[in-house]
Structure 1
Amino acid sequence: MCKTGSLNSASSAEGVHQNQNHEEEPRIRLLQLSEQAIEKQNSVNQLTTLHRQTQQETQRLDEERQRLGSAVDELTVNKSQLMEEEQAKAVSLAAAESEGFYLLCKEAVSWLSLM
């Protein structure tokens, strides 16, 4: 009887232990799910921060592109003005050279006619 009583006690203790495990399993699972939810929320927060930083950098680059585009437009206008001025100077110089050559020739003809 002692043996049977011991077996019943052991069996009863094992049943209580199994019952405690059965009650703890949902708590453990809930803790695991909570931990996973926290990790996922942290990931979402990191991605949100990264997305915001990416948008800010994109906006900064767009503003820089616009600024550089304006600078290029201004340089293009300046180049056109300088080319027009250079062309006007070249025409003026050619006219002056032509006038100088004409006067030189006229003077040479006058001098030759005196001879």
Structure 2
Amino acid sequence: MTSSPPTRATVHPAAGSIAAPIELYVYYKVHADQLAVAQAAFEQARGSRPVRLLQRHDNDPVFRTWMEIYGPELPDAADAERRIAAALGAYAQGPRHREAFAAVAPVGAAR
């Protein structure tokens, strides 16, 4: 998925369902030699926004897979993601993959 999905929109997976805020997950690869400078660029672009940065737990000696998580508490996740993507453009090896998810209502929840 290459386009940014709406991040504060509502999702209606089935007729009569309750709308849920969307969470955005973005993953990409960073060369191991650029981790420190890429992380500094991420931190600066993120500022005080509550965007999490995770690294895949694997043993690839050349590339690390990073994942940014934009939770539902972020008021303008699309803007934050655009800023961070611009700051990390020189460090991302290949495309940034964007995926949007919404919470699943508990079984038996009122609809």
TM-score scaled by structure 1?
0.15
User: As a proportion of its length, which structure holds more helix?
Assistant: 1
Name the one with the larger strand percent: 2
With normalisation by structure 2, the TM-score equals 0.15
Q: Which has the higher contact order (CA 8 A, sep 6+)?
A: 2
